[in-house]
Chain A
């Protein structure tokens, strides 16, 4: 990174913190701090919804997936537009009109305090750990680029974000999200232009498609029904639908975004913006990964993108073999480049297989030498490309874009964690009738507390395989069960508090067993969790109705 790039990053961070602090006006009451006085326009809420979901994990992990496997990951989002329609018709008008702060408040009105507290607690635990992973992604990137210690990098990312979220509340989060989305899209678009410019020096657009397609990277849709396969049309449209219903309907970090909208229709429109934009946006990011692959067909890539263990491998027992692999790799890359430029499909595929085999052996050597069984290369592909191939200034913009994505996703989550803590626990169980100023003070303390907790989690989550999958896997442990309890609450009058409580616990237990003992892909965990909660909850409600149901409630 050159001085100009550092300046771009520094200007961005100062600007975003300044803007966040400027937005703290009108947040001197709980309603303003947590819900922006329900005053935001639909497009700002919509961009905030997208920004909260699109973290730095998306930028770093998804481009890595695009590089390695192509566009197939887009199937993960096939359920999203349908989920948005279902939510717009059902819970959005419901939550908005109920004037709740958290989604879980409704569970108390429908069932009892126990169900509300359990659901909120599950959200807090799941989201706090996910937030840690969300923060780890940019920390990994910056540590690799700068050679900084991970804790220092995490603090550099977290401190500005915690600062503006703590002081400005949800209003600061939403308006900085809007700006951060523009930075992210501008950065990605500029990168695509640079990639195409570099590729077109060697081949035309038709040949780009042929090369990417020959390696299977353009096979975006797979209609095969195999529950062990992570990304298929069916896992996306069914499992993804359940995950998105749960994420946007039961996860406070998303529900709180559209609770800030001016009206029911504006809240709906904010969600429908995601329905229109999300899949094309993911395609842009995945396509960037695919283009990076094509780019490196003509420009020599490193054998491994994650060079964190270079020194250890060079001094280890496999040093000679590793050096030999590097020579083989150079020869294979040259042969692949010639085959790709000459349009020799069979020779290209054969040399690509050789390159893949060499890379796999090299990664195995790193794992054997270091004992790091989770050593991963995918998340380093895009950062390596950014820092070694982009022109001056654009490197800074992309690093700022990764910061932007990290902060926008984490700010919303952090604010939601504080909201659930204060509204569902502190104000509900401990201090019930304090003045607004008191709740505002403890809300800010809760924001700082969760921010620091997430920083600690991030330090341990940095080397957990492909980061985008880790985040979604963590989420799928509890999302399905949360969705199940909301289905019980909303779709049937027969469900009782006892049924909902034990159904929720049963759903979580079954998902954990399934996750650790079967090869079923994680998207299906959401379906399983929701189904178990519903079935167990209804069975208990019918067989052992509680006193409230016996009185005819709700």
Chain B
């Protein structure tokens, strides 16, 4: 019994949200890093 990864909900809309999550996180980390370098 293994998970079915071909859920109907697992569609393009969800994939777009996943991409947005990753982009937002990368942006936050980059800003925090630059911020730390600018003020030290």
Contact = CB atoms under 8 A, between A and B. Distances in A.
Interface string B16-40: 0110011011001100110110111
Given A90-B5, A220-B33, A493-B2, A213 B21 contact: no
Interface of A: 71, 74, 78, 81-82, 84-85, 88-91, 93-94, 97, 109-110, 209-210, 212-214, 216, 218-221, 233, 263-265, 268-269, 272, 275-276, 279-280, 283, 490-491, 493, 554
A218 B35 contact: yes
A216 B3 contact: no
A85 B39 contact: no
Given A81-B22, A89-B5, A93-B10, A220 B35 contact: yes
21 contacts: A71-B36, A82-B22, A88-B14, A90-B5, A93-B5, A97-B7, A213-B38, A213-B39, A216-B40, A218-B36, A218-B39, A265-B9, A265-B14, A268-B14, A272-B18, A279-B25, A280-B28, A283-B28, A490-B3, A493-B2, A554-B1
Contacts of B38: 213
A110 B5 contact: no
B21 A85 contact: yes
Nearest to A215: B40
A554 B2 CA distance: 9
A91 B3 contact: yes
Nearest to B34: A221
Interface of B: 1-5, 7, 9-10, 14, 17-18, 21-22, 24-25, 28-29, 32-33, 35-36, 38-40
A93 B9 contact: yes
A209 B18 CA distance: 33
Nearest to B35: A218
A219 B36 contact: yes
Given A81-B21, A272-B21, A554-B1, A221 B29 contact: yes
Contact of B21 (A94, A209, A275, A283): A275
A213 B40 CA distance: 4
Nearest to B36: A219
Nearest to A216: B40
B17 to A, nearest CB: 6
A315 B17 CA distance: 62
Contacts, number: 84
Contacts of B14: 88, 265, 268
Contact of B9 (A90, A209, A263, A276): A263
Contact of B32 (A74, A81, A82, A493): A74
B36 to A, nearest CB: 4
B7 A264 contact: yes
A205 to B, nearest CB: 11
A78 B25 contact: yes
Contact of A490 (B2, B7, B21, B28): B2
Contacts of A90: 3, 5
Contact of B3 (A94, A213, A233): A94
A287 to B, nearest CB: 11
A81 B24 CA distance: 9
A109 B3 CA distance: 12
A71 B28 contact: no
Contacts of B9: 93, 263-265, 268
A93 B3 contact: yes
B19 to A, nearest CB: 9
A233 B36 CA distance: 13
B32 A221 contact: yes
B15 to A, nearest CB: 9
Closest 10 CB pairs of A and B: A213-B39, A94-B3, A265-B9, A220-B32, A93-B7, A219-B36, A221-B33, A275-B21, A81-B25, A554-B1
A489 to B, nearest CB: 8
B40 A214 contact: yes
Contacts of B1: 109-110, 554
Nearest to A272: B17
Given A90-B3, A213-B38, 10 more contacts: A71-B36, A85-B22, A89-B18, A93-B3, A97-B7, A219-B40, A233-B29, A264-B7, A276-B21, A491-B2
Contacts of B18: 85, 88-89, 272
A139 B7 CA distance: 45
Contact of A220 (B10, B21, B36): B36
